[in-house]
Structure formats: structure tokens, C-alpha cells
């Protein structure tokens, strides 16, 4: 539909990012995190593409996400699927039916896993200092000789890996090393996207990249090693001239200090853009970045100066010319949120470049 915004998801770029991360991981298994519908980009298509690229282990958050990924992979594409939410009491049968692996993150989930039986494979999440989820080191120590659990992975999560110089990283590393000594034969995983690029010693046996698979830089800035995956375009609906002294959009906060030419495009916060990007973010049009004046529910305006423009021409809001991390910085958020907010109103297509 020519009047709708379009989101293009480049599967070749995801596969290339997977290979780039695998090279940085120095032999560790690369297990993609495709929670939240693969950060809003479509877990079914992305899981199948990554499986073909070599991924055999995946992480999701919710039980329903794990069931959906299992269905899309089918019985002929074997893969391990870990549930970061863990084992919620009452869901044991569903977990077994879809052959999912819950990651136990507190004592109650450990109890639920013991009730479910020692044949159920589980992961163990140890809290090394993020203080969000995970077993304490004393709780983990109590499990080190347990015979009524079947752990297949020991993992933790770094809270400050996007800032390599932060001393919290080394503290968590040392605590994870202590946890690893309790389970010396168990495969271990500490690094997510940013952790992978801290260096090989952080990668252990498995890494769990998420946002960097989808083009987000590991250190919250564009990284030339990673390709843009999502591109959001919108068609221009109107080209207008705003006289000096006139106001733009809602309220009276935005006033034209000079004569302005603006292009109004068919995209807005109903399509997942952040409203606060008005006056702060940029769009790409006619070979250059253009300031975004305002973002409404269905429309946004960019200033185009004397550049020729006509209805139907496309404006890029996110993509190769506007890296994900630049958009995140302009709107005081992270690349993860910029991706997962992308809604379903924009038409969507999957391509291989």
C-alpha cells in the first residue's frame, strides 16, 4: 500500500551479524536471544534463518514465545530453546510438550523443577550483581551435589557491559568464576551482546547476543562491524511552506523563526516511533539527514529546505543511513526499545540483500 510506512527486515544482515559475533566469540557457541518476537522483527522468520545460518540454541523470555519458536522450527530442525522466565509452577506439562529448557532463577523455581522430575533439563541462573533475577551463590552451592536436578547450563548476566571500563564488570566476572567452580563440568554463559565484545575471556562456552544481531552496537553506539537489519520508510503525503512566526503541530512550542519548507510523512508514534523524537531525531531524505520537527500519532514532519520533494517519495526513519543507536541516543533510550516498539501498522517485508 503506497500510503503506508514500510518496515524491511534484512535476513542476510542478521545472518552476517551472527557470523561477526561468532568470530568475536572465539569458539563459544552463539545462542541468539529472540525474545519479544525477536525484538519486534518476527521470531518465526528470524529463527528459521538463524537456524540455517548455524544456530542450534535459542533464548526467549515467555513460555508462549518458546512454544511459538518450537512450532516454527518444527520437528525436522532440532534446537534447544531456553526460557529466561524459568519454570512457572503449573506450566510443567507445556514446557515438556514443547521440549523447552527453563532457566531456574530462584528457590521456588528450583522446588518446582524438583517436583517436575530429574529428567527435565534446566538452566541455572546465578545472580552475580545485577540484582534482578538469579540464585545467590549460597543457594547455588546447595545445588552443587544435588541429584534431583538435571542442569545443562550455568549462566549469569552482566549489568554494565556496555561500559567496558566499569569495575562492576570485573566484579561480576569474578563472582561468575566462583559459581563456575561449583559446577566445573557444566557449560557456562555470561556474555550477551556487549559482553561478547569485551574479549574472548568473557565468552566462556556460550554467548547470548540479542540487540547486536539486529544491528545495535554492543556499546550503545553504531558499530561498523554490524549491519543494519531493520529499515523503516514512510511516504511523503504533503509538502508545505510554513511562514515565519507560524507554529507547527500541536500546542505552541514549535515556532518557525524563518520561512520553512517541510515534508509531512505517513508515519508516527502509532508505528512505533517515540514522540519525544520530535525536534531531536533525524530522517534521511534526498541523500542527507534532515531534522524531524514533530512526531504525531500518524504523521511526522521533516524540514527539507530548498530540496525538491513530492508526495510519494520515501523518507527513511531508521536503517543504513540512520543507525539504530543514533535514533536511541536522540530519544534518550536504548536500541532495544526502538526495535520492540515498531508496531504492526507498517507493512512488513523480509528480504535477502
State how far the alpha carbon of 245 is from the alpha carbons of 248, 253, 254, 258, 295, in Å: 10, 12, 10, 7, 20
Residue 212: which of 232, 191, 231 has the closest Cα? Answer: 191
Q: Specify whether 250 is catalytic.
A: yes
**Of the listed 39, 52, 238, 250, which one is catalytic?**
250
CB 97, CB 106: distance < 8 Å: no
Query: Who's near 65: CB < 8 A, 6+ residues apart?
Result: 34, 35, 36, 37, 43
Q: CA–CA separation, 138 vs 115, rounded Å?
A: 21
Residue 239: which of 288, 307, 317 has the closest Cα? Answer: 307
| Cell numbers standing for residue 293 | 520537527
Q: CA–CA separation, 176 vs 194, rounded Å?
A: 17
State how far the alpha carbon of 134 is from the alpha carbons of 104, 105, 266, in Å: 7, 4, 44
Q: Specify whether 350 is catalytic.
A: no
Q: Where are the alpha helices (DSSP H) in 74-133?
A: 92-97, 107-116
Segment holding 289, helix H or strand E: strand 288-295
Q: CA–CA separation, 18 vs 25, rounded Å?
A: 10
Q: CA–CA separation, 109 vs 74, rounded Å?
A: 28
Q: CA–CA separation, 24 vs 9, rounded Å?
A: 24
| DSSP letter (8 states) at residue 321 | T
| Cell numbers standing for residue 41 | 522483527
CA atoms 18, 20, 23, 28: torsion sign: negative
Question: Please, what is the angle between helix 43-53 and helix 63-73, to 10°?
Answer: 60
Residues designated catalytic: 35, 250
Amino acid at each position: 500500500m503506497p500510503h503506508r510506512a514500510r518496515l524491511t527486515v534484512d535476513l542476510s544482515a542478521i545472518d552476517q551479524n551472527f557470523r561477526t559475533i561468532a568470530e568475536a566469540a572465539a569458539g563459544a557457541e552463539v545462542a541468539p536471544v529472540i525474545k519479544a518476537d525477536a525484538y519486534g522483527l518476527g521470531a518465526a522468520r528470524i529463527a528459521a534463518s538463524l537456524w540455517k545460518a548455524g544456530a542450534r540454541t535459542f533464548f526467549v523470555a515467555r513460555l508462549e514465545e518458546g512454544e511459538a519458536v518450537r512450532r516454527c522450527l518444527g520437528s525436522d530442525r532440532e534446537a534447544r530453546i531456553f526460557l529466561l522466565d524459568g519454570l512457572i509452577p503449573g506450566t510443567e506439562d507445556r514446557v515438556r510438550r514443547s521440549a523447552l529448557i527453563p532457566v531456574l532463577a530462584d528457590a521456588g523455581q528450583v522446588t518446582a523443577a524438583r517436583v517436575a522430575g530429574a529428567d527435565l533439563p534446566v538452566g541455572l541462573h546465578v545472580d552475580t550483581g545485577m540484582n534482578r533475577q538469579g540464585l545467590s551463590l549460597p543457594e547455588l552451592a546447595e545445588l552443587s551435589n544435588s541429584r534431583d536436578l538435571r542442569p545443562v547450563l550455568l549462566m549469569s548476566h552482566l549489568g554494565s557491559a556496555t561500559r567496558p571500563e566499569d569495575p562492576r564488570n570485573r566484579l561480576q566476572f569474578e563472582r561468575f568464576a566462583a559459581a563456575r567452580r561449583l559446577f566445573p563440568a557444566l557449560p557456562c554463559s555470561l556474555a550477551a551482546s556487549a559482553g561478547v565484545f569485551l574479549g574472548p575471556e568473557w565468552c566462556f562456552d556460550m554467548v547470548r547476543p540479542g540487540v547486536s544481531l539486529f544491528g545495535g552496537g554492543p556499546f550503545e553506539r553504531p558499530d561498523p562491524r554490524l549491519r543494519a537489519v531493520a529499515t523503516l520508510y514512510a511516504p511523503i503525503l504533503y509538502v508545505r511552506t510554513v511562514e515565519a512566526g507560524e507554529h507547527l503541530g500541536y500546542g505552541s512550542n514549535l515556532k518557525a523563526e524563518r520561512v520553512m519548507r517541510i515534508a509531512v510523512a505517513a508515519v508516527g508514534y502509532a508505528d512505533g516511533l517515540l514522540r519525544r523524537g520530535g525536534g531531536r531525531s533525524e530522517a534521511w531524505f534526498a541523500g542527507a539527514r534532515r531534522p524531524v520537527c514533530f512526531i504525531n500519532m500518524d504523521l511526522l514532519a521533516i524540514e527539507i529546505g530548498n530540496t525538491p520533494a513530492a508526495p510519494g517519495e520515501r523518507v527513511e526513519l531508521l536503517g543504513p543511513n540512520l543507525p539504530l543507536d543514533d535514533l536511541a541516543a536522540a530519544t534518550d533510550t536504548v536500541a532495544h526499545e526502538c526495535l520492540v516498539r515498531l508496531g504492526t501498522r507498517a507493512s512488513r517485508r523480509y528480504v535477502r540483500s
